[in-house]
Amino acid sequence: MARLFDAYIMVDWSAAAKPALGANSIWIGILAKDARLKLQFKAVNIDTRLKARAFIEDMVAKLTRRGDRVLLGFDFSLGYPAGTAAALGLDVSKQAPWAAMHAHLASKLKDKADNSNARYAIAAGMNYAISKGPYPFWGAPARDVVSTLSSTKPDYAGQPLPEYRIVENHLRETKAGQPKSVWQLAYTGSVGSQSLTGIPHVHALRAAWPNARIWPFEINADEMTEEGLDGIEVVIAEVYPSLIKAKPEKGETLDEVQVREIARHYSQLDEKGLLGGTFSTGKSLDEGKIEHIQAEEGWILGI
């Protein structure tokens, strides 16, 4: 059985406020064919988000020009809990909630060359639009705490937007992982700032690639087939590297190892003809939840 993809690029993102290398910075793992058509892996460590996006855009252009189809994975949420776009008052009459949210974040959050941005002020502004108080985003450092953004978690009980997306609840209930909430912007294990800073760059990449699609928003959410990928050069998906056990060797960072192992994982599934089956948004879920997933929340590839 032929592979669905020719190259696998996995990105471990970072919301660092200044240029950074090494642990807890941006690592990009590329598993692609060499001149002998053998898959070879290399990892690249990049110190700012703007440079990382430029590198990804250039690398994907090189691969697609030679006819490769690319699976591009990012390790942050590509969506927010169902109802977020409506709660923000975004216009969803002509675009899906996920697309409205991507466009909104791209218009608000602008990374500077030194990796700085106004993400806490932007989160505070979204909280004001949603609740007029410190909900749903939280986790601000002391210097960024304001009346609409707290350092501590708000009470989500009885609120219109839940703490977790459907996929995160699924991981927790099945004990497959303990993902943090996309609303948490700082402190141990937080991922909210990665999504807040990452989605604008995904939006820019998608705009630059007419033959790209973001899964599961723009592409078949059932089993993926070659026919379903006809005319598509790049599939962008959310990945969860912690699903794959990775142990750093001497001199390696955990981030570096994780992008290598998750790239190899998807490649091995593809080689066996099994990767297409992982493009599913939880077949056991009811239709209402699947509708929310495909319209706004997103899903993690392989869950």
Q: Enumerate domains of the chain plus CATH numbers.
A: 7-77+193-297 (3.30.420.140)
Judged on CB neighbours under 10 Å (0-12, 13-18, 19+), 128 is middle
E strand or H helix at 61: helix 49-65
pLDDT higher at 2 or 233: 233
Peptide bond preceding 136 in cis form (omega within 30 of 0): yes
Q: pTM of the full predicted structure?
A: 0.96
**pLDDT class for 1, splitting at 50, 70, 90?**
low
In tens, the pLDDT along 42-92 reads 999 999 999 999 999 999 999 999 999 999 999 999 999 999 999 999 999
**pLDDT class for 285, splitting at 50, 70, 90?**
confident
Q: Which of 59-63, 126-130, 250-254, 271-275 has the lowest mean pLDDT?
A: 250-254
Handedness of CA 174, 254, 110, 95 (dihedral sign): negative
Classified as helix, coil or strand, 117 is coil
User: Which pLDDT score, from 0 to 100, does residue 161 have?
Assistant: 98
Residue 44 phi/psi, 5° resolution?
-125, 130
Distance from the Cα of residue 190 to its chain's centroid:
14
- 279 touches 294 (CB < 8 A): no
Classified as helix, coil or strand, 149 is strand
Report the chain's mean pLDDT, rounded to a whole number.
95
Distance CA 73, CA 32 (A): 14
